[in-house]
Amino acid sequence: MAEVVLFHHALGLTQGITGFADQLRQAGHTVHTPDLFEGHTFATLDEGMAHVRQIGFGEAVNRGAAAVADLPAELVYAGFSLGVLPAQMLAQTRPGARGALLYYSCVPVTEFSPTWPAEVPVQVHGMDADPFFAGDGDLDAARDLVASAVAPAELFLYPGDQHYFADATLDSYDPAAAALLLERTLAFLRSVS
């Protein structure tokens, strides 16, 4: 089974994130859920992003790197939205990465290194009309990553305009899309185990 580090979105380490981690654990995987916000959670994306701007995006990434310092190198890095930043950075720069799962977000590969590592498979998941994913350049970055990757790389687009569509605790939850995302995630984890 895979060992996964799952980074939370801008609402913090919420029950939606820990619930998703529990689903992966029920399938037999080891899942770590670092808290990049040191116990703070937020009810809205605006509140969460205000907190991120206060601590700084770089600090959120640094906290992600610090959270894995004592973990083995052979990890799958996963992140939801904001959590994609440390997940993608670690998958690209920390030797030994087994894979990357990028949910709702993707940044240009060149943000962290010149190219995507040839040995690191990746999945990117997002809704095709999500104004953040499709409208802010993440979809273009995901397409570029998938087109340039040597290792298996997949982009999964789901119909809809919700950002946090796989978080069962939020109004944006889409049960059908979330079930498919989970199914694809578990298949990916089996493939890298």
> Using an 8 Å Cβ cutoff, are 157 and 133 in contact?
no
The pLDDT of residue 21: 98
Number of domains in the chain: 1
Q: Can you give the pTM of this predicted structure?
A: 0.97
CATH number of the domain that residue 66 is part of: 3.40.50.1820
Mean predicted confidence (pLDDT) in 116-134: 97
> Using an 8 Å Cβ cutoff, are 134 and 126 in contact?
yes
The pLDDT of residue 123: 98
- Could you list the residue range(s) of the whole structural domain that residue 10 is in? 3-192
Token pair 């029950």 in the structure block, residue? 15
For 160, list phi and psi in degrees, rounded to 5.
140, 175
Secondary structure letter of residue 63 according to DSSP: H
How would you write 149-169 as a 3-class SS string? CCCCEEEEEECCCCCCCCCCC
